[in-house]
Amino acid sequence: MSDTLRGTTVVKVGDRELTLKPTLGAVRKIEAVLGGLVPAFQALGKGSVDGVVCIVAAGAELKAEQLDELAEQVFQAGVQDVAFQLIPYVSFLLKPSYKDEEPGEGNALPAAAL
């Protein structure tokens, strides 16, 4: 579920719900680990547990000691089920000035992400 005014996204990982905030800090963490937002899309498409964990952890501002538990939860919930929920969030990070649209609405994925 995405908040269309701020790009905030609630992601369900098993029984747990995490709120991801679209911040510059989250973008910089994703860039540092995955190499950018387009590689983040690629990680989602590949079903990368670590890629999903990176994006969720960056958006939810989780601590390093929480990552192993999150990885297990992502694995148990199904990495593709969680990854699918992250597409609007990462899309919004690419262009946060879209304030009147649902994140990802009307915007195709970058060709490199396909």
pLDDT tens per residue across span 55-70: 999 999 999 999 999 9
Q: What pTM does this model have?
A: 0.81
Whether the CA torsion 25, 105, 56, 39 is positive or negative: it is negative
Identify the three-state secondary structure at position 11. strand
Confidence of residue 97 (pLDDT cuts 50, 70, 90): confident
pLDDT at position 51 is 98
pLDDT at position 3 is 47
- β-strand partners of 11: 18
**pLDDT > 70? residue 90:** yes
pLDDT at position 4 is 44
With CA atoms as reference, report the closest residue to 86 among 4, 33, 19. 19
Domain boundaries, the chain: 9-95
32, 49, 52, 89 from 4: Cα distances, Å = 27, 27, 22, 11
